[in-house]
Amino acid sequence: MPIIESLITVDKKLNVPVYLQIANSIIGHIRRGILKPEKALPGSRVLAAALKVHRKTVVAAYDELYAQSWVDVYPRKGIFVAKNLPDVQPKSIAQNAATNGIAAITYYEVGEQQVPFPLQFKAPAPQNIVFNDGFPDTRLAPVDLLVREYRRFGNYHFTSKYLMYGPEQGSENLRNELARFLSETRGLQVSPENILITKGVQMAMYLSAQVLLSKNDTVIVPDPGYFMANEVFEHTGAQLAFVPVDDHGIDLNAVEDICKKKKVKLLYVIPHHHRPTCVTLSAERRMQLLELAMKYRFAILEDDYDYDFHYASSPILPLASADYYGSVIYVGSFCKTIAPGIRVGFIVAPQNLIEQLTRLRRMIDRQGEQLLEEAMANLLKNGDIGRHLKKTNKIYHERRDVLCRLLQEQLGEQVSFNIPDGGFAVWMQYLNGLNAKAISQKAAEMGLSISDGSGYYHKNDNCNFIRMGFASLNVKELEDGVEILKRAVEKVS
Amino acid sequence: MPIIESLITVDKKLNVPVYLQIANSIIGHIRRGILKPEKALPGSRVLAAALKVHRKTVVAAYDELYAQSWVDVYPRKGIFVAKNLPDVQPKSIAQNAATNGIAAITYYEVGEQQVPFPLQFKAPAPQNIVFNDGFPDTRLAPVDLLVREYRRFGNYHFTSKYLMYGPEQGSENLRNELARFLSETRGLQVSPENILITKGVQMAMYLSAQVLLSKNDTVIVPDPGYFMANEVFEHTGAQLAFVPVDDHGIDLNAVEDICKKKKVKLLYVIPHHHRPTCVTLSAERRMQLLELAMKYRFAILEDDYDYDFHYASSPILPLASADYYGSVIYVGSFCKTIAPGIRVGFIVAPQNLIEQLTRLRRMIDRQGEQLLEEAMANLLKNGDIGRHLKKTNKIYHERRDVLCRLLQEQLGEQVSFNIPDGGFAVWMQYLNGLNAKAISQKAAEMGLSISDGSGYYHKNDNCNFIRMGFASLNVKELEDGVEILKRAVEKVS
């Protein structure tokens, strides 16, 4: 037993709450195989004494582990590492995986295709309440923190160096802080060399697609899925292969069926709160997907833009955190954390791939905004981002619950939905033959902008599912919005 | 006389100081030809009374006009619109040129090629004096002005709208202000619909190349030229055709020779202070080049990043300002005006091309930094950019003169150069068989970073020309730099 206590280090000066440090540390050891399934864990009193923390802290840590399914609790026996864990054994992203998977690619080709682009995100009528696609509330954006950082830059002599040409790969300070943040929040053990700072997930996808894909390559994408991602893949001349999505994420049998028929180059997945259906890819499927990627040698583009907004318990660790083979490109963003208009995202990948991505990035726009990147680095370092995430998670959690309760109360007979584990939207189906398009039109007349159900599926635009963003509306606005929606539904019934 | 007063409107609620509103208004009327050269302006008392402002305000406005050389002051006679204004007669970019040139292209192809990328801009040894490639002095960057704008955003309720997804084409305010700025400074009559805001000239080049070029298309580029531009063109799979550059710019006979042999799709030109040779394309050649473009139906990518820094007299109006046929894509930047690290540039082109460029831009990174773009819009509107340009032009003008004098005094027998009309660098040839590489090595040992002459020409890396950036060094640093250079030259002689 003393072994376990000695594996755990607690640093009360860190921003991460102590109970999470303990939980994350234990998760790390389970993933590394040091703590095997069914291994007994020390009682909370014992561990608390050993770590010199309050017993409640250890109880909270164990609660967290239980909520995340890392441990089984048997009354009167104790706490054990869960029996049915996928045998996750995370590693730092393999530096020497260069002979396998994407790490082996040294140069890239650019495909050839003529692609028409729909220009979306048209502005809704002013004054309307908007159930948008699932965006954060910019009224909560910590502009004051950003401005504080900019003000400090204005006073410093060294600021002039951030105004010159800088590293194409992104601010070194930001990459250092981000490596720490990713380790603490996601169990991703990466060094700053594995990170490229981008302008949001959009640029991360564009760069990855351009570097990895050639004309007629096959890319597996979910259907319904994210049209902006599909557009980026098609722009390279690659062919899309669609797989369905159920309550636990993408259908892996469908993935394997495609792999058996043709060579697949890339698979695109949104593991947390799939867009548009809001489902979370289960831990079991994550491990299976990694196995498929190894077996059929395709790369995975893991778009985890929503990881930091999870309300159900803790989010599931990324595929990239258990990726032995260097087959995962992990992309994320602070565009939901700060604001969509503040474009800071990142790619985590093997170093030789990062080098190629960086070269393309340099050709596109030379570098990011250094002052913004330095400001982000400071906000991460100071713990401002962590605090802001806590604050907004609480608010969005409440807004999700309010919307779901209102829908149930007001429209319970007319709609069906699952409560999403996190994110910014609810995926809702209209029942009783209700037509999403008609409702959307009627609602617009009554002062509510809401999806008409088009654009989610690759082919069928007549589905009666819609995505309802709740995060950017406060409780009053949600109430008013659902009230209008109810009246619109009544009118078209 | 009452006419002039009636032309000027003053709004004390605006952020722009009243004296600047008056000055800017008068400048606008001079530029529009309403106030002709040598026209008498009203006395300060008269104008102050008419506008209901303090006389000192009018005096300050006139001082501003005098500092900017818009008026002549004759003691005891009064103030007159200056006699020697450049006779600006701008033309609008032909809206109806859609059947000719680039305006006719509706979709684009992406070429196919494997391109290796050199990673440049390695950091010099710290403490060294650096004759860089020709960058502005970031110590002079108006960070305080930017920070002032950001602070204001922090206080405004409406700021939240700039934090949401915004226009892919760039801030509407910035495009409006830029249209005015381009008209006033360059005689370019464009509407905001003709403008796409980019991340510097780099992104402007990337987007233009991707949209216009296909595999095996021919692009004419100058040699010596700008390697970053060449790289962007080659990345599309296009073939480069090189033309020489003399004291008046690119050799048009060489251009026509190529056009006679094959179909040319695009020609790339830096009309002000060609990189690396610093020469200005003469007015005569500008008109000839436009005629060639019409005759052989190629598009011109006019990279006028250096327009705002001209010391000799007035800069020559852009090709785009005399482009009847919609064959010029005009790209520029504020990266030299504010700082290289503040990435704001623009493309001016026919509207249907702008639409395509915008679609690609959206796919790459969705949009620019809205807060930065709004800040730039305010700085343009308030006249802050104009004042900053005047101030820095004066400083860089002086630094150019100091460097040229020092080179003449210290190394007159060993080097040869022409004084450039503007920009940030001097193009200098070592004489007497002096070797640029040996001098660069020796200088580095002595604390001076200076070009070794490589990378300017497409093929010949053994030339003895180097580019010496003077703008980022103050007079003392220039003196120290030339002193070290002199000793290095002596050592290798």
CATH number at residue A38: 1.10.10.10
User: Where does the pLDDT of residue B161 fall: very low under 50, low under 70, confident under 90, or very high at 90 and above?
Assistant: confident
Quick: pLDDT tens for B383-426.
999 999 999 999 999 999 999 999 999 999 999 999 999 999 99
Same structural domain, B56 and B170: no
Specify the higher pLDDT residue, B205 or A142. Answer: B205
Q: Which of residues 342-361 of A touch B (CB under 8 A)?
A: 342-343, 358-360
Same structural domain, A322 and A395: no
Average pLDDT for residues B430-443, to the nearest whole number? 95
Closest partner CB to B138 (pick from A117, A163, A362)? A163
State which amino acid sits at residue A116: P
Q: Which two tokens stand for residue B286?
A: 């500008």
Residues contacting A38, CB < 8 A, separation 6+: A80, A81, A83
User: Where does the pLDDT of residue A137 fall: very low under 50, low under 70, confident under 90, or very high at 90 and above?
Assistant: very high
Give the span between the Cα atoms of B317 and B300, in whole angstroms.
Answer: 15
Residues B202, B208, B214, B217, CA torsion sign: negative
Helix (H) or strand (E) holding A210: helix A200-212
A144 touches B: beta carbon within 8 Å? yes
User: Where does the pLDDT of residue B3 fall: very low under 50, low under 70, confident under 90, or very high at 90 and above?
Assistant: low
Mark A295-327 as b/e (b = at least 16 C-beta within 10 Å).
ebbbbbbbbbbbbbbbbeebbbbbbbbbbbbbb
Average pLDDT for residues B63-83, to the nearest whole number? 81
Most confident of A428-432, B280-284, B310-314: A428-432
CB of A470 within 8 A of CB of A425? yes
Share of chain B above pLDDT 90, in %: 62
Domain end residue (candidates: B323, B349, B383): B383
CB of B57 within 8 A of CB of B48? yes
Q: Quick one: how far is CA A181 from the chain centroid?
A: 14
For residue B182, the domain's CATH number is 3.40.640.10
As a whole number, the mean pLDDT across chain B is 86
Domain end residue (candidates: A368, A383, A398): A383
CB of A223 within 8 A of CB of A244? yes
Give the span between the Cα atoms of B409 and B106, in whole angstroms.
Answer: 57
CB of B343 within 8 A of CB of A370? no
Q: For residue A64, count CB atoms less than 10 angstroms from its CB and return exposed for 0-12, middle for 13-18, buried for 19 or more.
A: buried
Q: Looking at the domain assignment, is residue B486 inside a domain? A: yes
Average pLDDT for residues B83-94, to the nearest whole number? 46
Q: Which two tokens stand for residue B336?
A: 């030299």
Q: Is the pLDDT of residue B101 over 60?
A: no
Residue B479: closest CA among B418, B407, B428: B407
CB of A347 within 8 A of CB of A208? yes
Average pLDDT for residues B336-362, to the nearest whole number? 94
Average pLDDT for residues A232-244, to the nearest whole number? 97
Residues spanned by the domain of B195: 91-119+159-383
Return the pLDDT at B90. 33
Same structural domain, A112 and A245: yes
Same structural domain, A138 and A191: no
Give the span between the Cα atoms of B107 and A449, in whole angstroms.
Answer: 32
Quick: pLDDT tens for B258-274.
999 999 999 999 999 99
Q: Is the pLDDT of residue B78 over 70?
A: yes
Q: Is the pLDDT of residue A2 over 80?
A: no
Return the pLDDT at A444. 93
Closest partner CB to B202 (pick from A215, A366, A368)? A366
Same structural domain, B284 and B358: yes
Most confident of A147-151, A299-303, B83-87: A299-303
Q: Which of residues 373-392 of B touch A (CB under 8 A)?
A: none
Q: Is the pLDDT of residue B152 over 90?
A: no
Q: Is the pLDDT of residue B121 over 80?
A: no
Q: Which two tokens stand for residue A375?
A: 């400001």
Return the pLDDT at B32. 67
Terminal Cα distance for chain B, rounded:
68
Residue B455: closest CA among B206, B203, B210, B122: B122
User: Where does the pLDDT of residue B319 fall: very low under 50, low under 70, confident under 90, or very high at 90 and above?
Assistant: very high
Domain end residue (candidates: A349, A366, A383): A383
Average pLDDT for residues B199-219, to the nearest whole number? 97
The residue assigned the tokens 């260069």 is: A98
Give the span between the Cα atoms of A172 and A192, in whole angstroms.
Answer: 7
Closest partner CB to A121 (pick from B165, B198, B341)? B165
For B143, nearest residue in chain A (alpha carbons): A154
Same structural domain, B418 and B403: yes
Give the span between the Cα atoms of B128 and B122, in whole angstroms.
Answer: 13
Q: Is the pLDDT of residue B119 over 70?
A: no
Q: Looking at the domain assignment, is residue B289 inside a domain? A: yes
Residue B127: closest CA among B439, B453, B451, B477: B477
Residue B306 half-sphere exposure, CB side, CA atoms within 13 Å?
Answer: 28
Same structural domain, B57 and B104: no
For A113, nearest residue in chain B (alpha carbons): B109
For A365, nearest residue in chain B (alpha carbons): B203
Same structural domain, A213 and A333: yes
For residue B451, the domain's CATH number is 3.90.1150.10
Residues contacting B406, CB < 8 A, separation 6+: B478, B479, B482
Q: Looking at the domain assignment, is residue B266 inside a domain? A: yes
Same structural domain, A338 and A414: no
Return the pLDDT at B472. 94
Q: Cβ A372–B370 below 8 Å, yes or no?
A: no
Same structural domain, A241 and A368: yes
Return the pLDDT at A100. 32
The residue assigned the tokens 């440090």 is: A21
Specify the higher pLDDT residue, A429 or B38. Answer: A429
For B370, nearest residue in chain A (alpha carbons): A341
Residue A436: closest CA among A460, A405, A471: A460
For A357, nearest residue in chain B (alpha carbons): B117
Pairing of strands A266-269, A415-417: unpaired
Return the pLDDT at A98. 31
Longest dimension (CA), chain A: 68
Q: Is the pLDDT of residue B201 over 90?
A: yes
Q: Looking at the domain assignment, is residue B124 inside a domain? A: no
A147 touches B: beta carbon within 8 Å? yes
With beta carbons under 8 A apart, name residues in chain A contacting B141: 160, 163
Quick: pLDDT tens for A361-414.
999 999 999 999 999 999 999 889 988 998 999 999 999 999 999 999 999 999
Q: Which of residues 397-456 of A touch B (CB under 8 A)?
A: none
User: Where does the pLDDT of residue A119 fall: very low under 50, low under 70, confident under 90, or very high at 90 and above?
Assistant: very low
Q: Cβ B365–A198 below 8 Å, yes or no?
A: yes
Q: Looking at the domain assignment, is residue A123 inside a domain? A: no
Count how many domains chain A has. 3
Q: Looking at the domain assignment, is residue B54 inside a domain? A: yes
Return the pLDDT at B316. 86
Instruction: Using alpha carbons, list the distances in angstroms from residue B314 to A239, B85, B131, B146, B489.
Output: 53, 9, 26, 28, 36
Give the span between the Cα atoms of B175 and A423, in whole angstroms.
Answer: 34
The residue assigned the tokens 């790390």 is: A28
Q: Which two tokens stand for residue B282?
A: 């003469």
Q: Looking at the domain assignment, is residue A404 inside a domain? A: yes
Return the pLDDT at B196. 98
Give the span between the Cα atoms of A363 and A354, in whole angstroms.
Answer: 14
A235 touches B: beta carbon within 8 Å? yes
Closest partner CB to A141 (pick from B160, B228, B343)? B160
Q: Which residues partner with A310 through β-bridges?
A: A422
For B337, nearest residue in chain A (alpha carbons): A163
Specify the higher pLDDT residue, A490 or A106. Answer: A490
Q: Cβ B150–A150 below 8 Å, yes or no?
A: yes
Average pLDDT for residues A339-345, to the nearest whole number? 92
The arrangement of strands across the sheet holding A266-269 comes to A195-198, A345-348, A328-333, A299-303, A266-269, A218-222, A239-243
Q: Which two tokens stand for residue B228?
A: 């970053």
Q: Is the pLDDT of residue A419 over 90?
A: yes
Residue A214 sits at the vertex; the CA angle it makes with B268 and A268, to the nearest 5 degrees, is 120
Terminal Cα distance for chain A, rounded:
65
Return the pLDDT at A421. 93
Q: Is the pLDDT of residue A82 over 80?
A: yes
Closest partner CB to B341 (pick from A107, A166, A228)? A166
Same structural domain, B111 and B227: yes
Q: Looking at the domain assignment, is residue A488 inside a domain? A: yes
Same structural domain, B200 and B309: yes
A226 touches B: beta carbon within 8 Å? no
